[in-house]
Amino acid sequence: MAHRSQEILCKMIEYTEKFDATGLNCPLPILRSKKVLTGMNSGEILYVISTDSGSVKDFDAFCKQTGNELLESSEAEGKYHYYIKKV
Amino acid sequence: MSAKKLALIATKGTLDWAYPPFILASTAAALGYETQIFFTFYGLQLLKKDLNLKVSPLGNPAMPMPMGMDKWFPTLGTAIPGMESIMSGMMKSKMKSKGVASVAELREMCLESDVKMIACQMTVDLFDMKPDDFIDGIDYAGASTFFEFAGESDVNLFI
């Protein structure tokens, strides 16, 4: 069920760039995502996959502080999925 | 809105204590903070080109050790020659396996995101350290220079 909802989610949000942060620990998911975002244009969407459970609160905090919009934050099968719209 | 500012003082040069300043500085930079780190005394080791940082179990009862050694291994045993290198090697490989960035990697990210690093000139002189031993792109200055930035910072931390 979780897997299905993830697939539905992936279809729902179209992204410009994808960054797989699987296996990376704090603060690398944020730092590397920020790096990818820097090379993107305003309004484009970055899709990040992470296995770091601390990243849930961190991506929320990152977006609040940087003004980027966290469109979606969800968990499925031990992986965390984030869709960030660049400000 | 002008950028927030973070000023750090890094005073320790062991593997474990290398992490807080570089993690905080790189993250702050990613969040849009203008960031400076002032490295003084043992903290200067973190600016060496050749980072050979170690962590010591000696005198550190809080350090988790393999096989529950922190519970039963005698404190004096941690003073055995080679213990420090062994424990440091284990710590580094554990960090790698858990996807924790290396100190060099975090430092590189700080430099890439324009974190300003200042080496304490007095300590450099005190320990007869050579600028050649340090990475490029750093400044050499004293406490007054630190306050020039720290005085108008939003967050100041001594590490």
Measured between CB atoms, which of B26, B30, B98 is closest to A25?
Answer: B98
* pLDDT tens readout for residues B73-102: 888 888 889 988 999 999 999 999 999 999
Considering only CB atoms, which chain B residues are within 8 Å of A52? 99
* pLDDT tens readout for residues B30-81: 999 999 999 999 999 999 999 999 998 888 888 888 888 888 888 888 888 9
Query: Residues of A with catalytic annotation?
Result: 26
Contacts of B47 (CB under 8 A, 6+ apart): B39, B117, B119, B134, B135, B138
Considering only CB atoms, which chain B residues are within 8 Å of A24? 99, 101
Where are the domains positioned within chain B? Answer: 5-158
φ, ψ for residue B13 (rounded to 5)? -120, 25
- Yes or no: domain B5-158 corresponds to CATH 3.40.47.10: no
What is the ipTM, given to two decimal places?
0.82
**Residue A77 burial (CB count, 10 A):** 7
User: Taking CB atoms and an 8 Å limit, are B30 and A25 in contact across chains?
Assistant: no
Q: Write down all domains in chain A, each with its CATH number in brackets.
A: 2-85 (3.30.110.40)
**Residue A46 burial (CB count, 10 A):** 22
